[in-house]
């Protein structure tokens, strides 16, 4: 589906500019045709990919349903590829069984490098929180709002296989748990597992794996890195590239409130309410707040930015509660919203392999951002980097001249080359 354009006052001008930037690169990308895989067993219907089971039973990474994809209009790699949509088992942020959808794409040309073809687990940036926004749907042309087709095209041009998770909460009737760290980390790691079980993918248990994401995808990719050793120790992860990372959600939320990108904060508040249904939320909303929830769930990235430009969270609660007041509210077990938010802070409890840290990371990390980033405060980016450096994790930091939106396309060549170096075991020069 597509949302109709609407006339907006001048205070939404920044949001419209953002929408133009988001769509600009996408519209210039030619389509690439996908050919069927070597096995004919992936013949489930498209509806089956997005239909959640009544009771999730699949093991993490188990393929529940799959279908071959005929075309990928978002990607302009110029190469023939084999592609599949997949529904697979995962684990949600509370440790319960879940199912998630995603896309696996493999170049048809023979891999020219050493060993077997490597795989990049790609975590998309902000898409929106309704199931109509799922990345796998956008890749196949059902809805065009996403902006990272050139990222995937560059990976495929390099010869890498790609496993792009939609992330949790994009099946029919669901709401995406926006910026929930554990949900995101589990989804990306289980996407890799599912790719190795997909008939005809050529991905095996010994495949070298890189993880890449920007913005929400930057957070999800780093959470995948932090959870890899404990949740999926069998995976051969060799590096993670993460850009525009919202490492401290408290700081990011405060910065977004009332600004041109307040829609991201609205999505985050709703996402947290989805993952923590016992915490106070629905009872706090006024009529404007209830409408905001419905609108957010019906829009995707551009529509969300435009709809909520300049929005203040306080205007959506009956008592006009500020973010700080919301953070202080407690649920039935005494946990505050602030404590819930802090569980998603990146860099806390990280360490090197064998350190005994809660999150052991045994591979290099690339972090990057745009110097003019107006969405993610510089302070939180520096704090996440510093936490990794202080923990002794091999970390490289890169800055680009652009803002949040342009920092993503500016990084493509560097990120793909950096991942390629990890696949060939080239030493990395950290710059902590």
**Residue spans per domain, the chain:** 21-248+344-423
CA distance 218 to 228: 15
User: If we measure between CA atoms, which residue out of 91, 178, 174, 173 comes closest to residue 127?
Assistant: 178
CA atoms in the 13 A half-sphere facing the CB of 176: 33
Q: Which residues of the chain have pLDDT under 70?
A: 1-40, 76-79, 144
CATH number of 21-248+344-423: 3.40.50.1820
CA distance 204 to 198: 9
Residue 143's pLDDT is what?
72
- The H or E element spanning position 89 is strand 81-91
What pLDDT, on the 0 to 100 scale, is given for residue 11?
39
Tokens of 337: 């919203």
Distance CA 224, CA 218 (A): 10
Dmax over Cα atoms in the chain, in whole Å?
62
Say how far apart CA 305 and CA 18 lie, in whole Å.
Answer: 8
Residue 76: predicted pLDDT: 63
Query: Which string of b and e fits 71-102 if b means at least 16 CB within 10 Å?
Result: ebbbbbbeeebbbbbbbbbbbbbeeeebbbbb
Rounded distance between C-alpha atoms, residue 408 and residue 415, angstroms: 10
pLDDT for 79 equals 56
Q: 426: which residues sit within 8 A by CB, 6+ positions away? A: none
Q: What is the pLDDT of residue 147?
A: 87
CB atoms within 10 A of CB 70: 11
Cβ-based burial of 116 (10 A; exposed 0-12, middle 13-18, buried ≥19) = middle
For residue 69, what pLDDT is reported? 92
β-bridge partners, 68? 84
pTM of the model: 0.91
Q: Tell me the per-residue pLDDT of 55-102, one tens digit each, with 9 for 90 and over.
A: 999 999 999 999 999 889 888 654 589 999 999 999 999 999 999 999
The two three-digit tokens of residue 3, written as one number: 């949302």
Counting residues of the chain whose pLDDT is more than 70, the rounded percentage is 90
Q: What DSSP string describes 270-291?
A: HHHHHH-TTSS-GGGB-HHHHH
Instruction: At 76, list the tokens.
Output: 């302009």
pLDDT value of residue 80: 84
């Amino acid at each position: 589906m597509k949302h109709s354009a609407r006339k907006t006052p001048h205070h939404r001008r920044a949001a419209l500019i953002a929408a133009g930037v988001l769509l600009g690169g996408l519209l210039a990308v030619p389509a690439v045709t996908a050919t069927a895989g070597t096995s004919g067993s992936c013949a489930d219907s498209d509806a089956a990919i997005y239909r959640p089971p009544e009771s999730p039973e699949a093991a993490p990474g188990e393929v529940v349903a799959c279908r071959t994809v005929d075309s990928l209009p978002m990607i302009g790699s110029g190469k023939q590829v084999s592609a599949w949509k997949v529904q697979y088992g995962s684990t949600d942020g509370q440790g319960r069984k879940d199912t998630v959808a995603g896309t696996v794409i493999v170049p048809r040309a023979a891999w020219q490098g050493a060993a077997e073809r490597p795989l990049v687990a790609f975590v998309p940036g902000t898409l929106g929180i309704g199931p109509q926004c799922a990345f796998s749907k956008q890749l196949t042309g059902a809805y065009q709002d996403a902006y990272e087709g050139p990222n995937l095209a560059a990976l495929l041009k390099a010869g890498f296989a790609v496993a792009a998770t939609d992330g949790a909460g994009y099946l029919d009737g669901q709401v995406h748990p926006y910026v929930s760290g554990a949900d995101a980390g589990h989804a990306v790691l289980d996407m890799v597992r599912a790719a190795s079980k997909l008939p005809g993918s050529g991905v095996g248990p010994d495949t070298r794996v890189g993880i890449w994401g920007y913005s929400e995808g930057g957070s999800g990719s780093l959470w995948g890195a932090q959870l890899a050793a404990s949740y999926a120790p069998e995976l051969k992860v060799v590096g993670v590239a993460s850009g525009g990372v919202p490492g401290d959600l408290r700081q990011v939320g405060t910065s977004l409130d009332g600004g041109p990108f307040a829609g991201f904060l609205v999505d985050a508040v709703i996402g947290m309410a989805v993952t923590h249904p016992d915490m106070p939320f629905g009872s706090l909303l006024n009529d404007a707040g209830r409408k905001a929830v419905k609108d957010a769930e019906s829009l995707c990235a551009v529509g969300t930015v435009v709809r909520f430009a300049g929005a203040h969270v306080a205007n959506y609660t009956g008592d006009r509660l500020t973010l700080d007041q919301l953070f202080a509210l407690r649920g039935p077990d005494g946990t505050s919203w602030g404590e819930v938010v802090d569980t998603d802070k990146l860099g806390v409890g990280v360490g090197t392999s064998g350190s005994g840290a809660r999150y052991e990371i045994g591979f290099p990390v690339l972090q990057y951002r745009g110097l003019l980033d107006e969405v993610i405060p510089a302070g939180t980016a520096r704090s996440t980097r510093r936490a990794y450096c202080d923990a002794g994790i091999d970390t490289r930091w890169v800055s680009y001249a652009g803002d949040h939106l342009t920092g993503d396309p500016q990084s493509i060549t560097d990120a793909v080359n950096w991942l390629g170096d990890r696949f060939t075991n080239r030493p990395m020069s950290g710059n902590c």
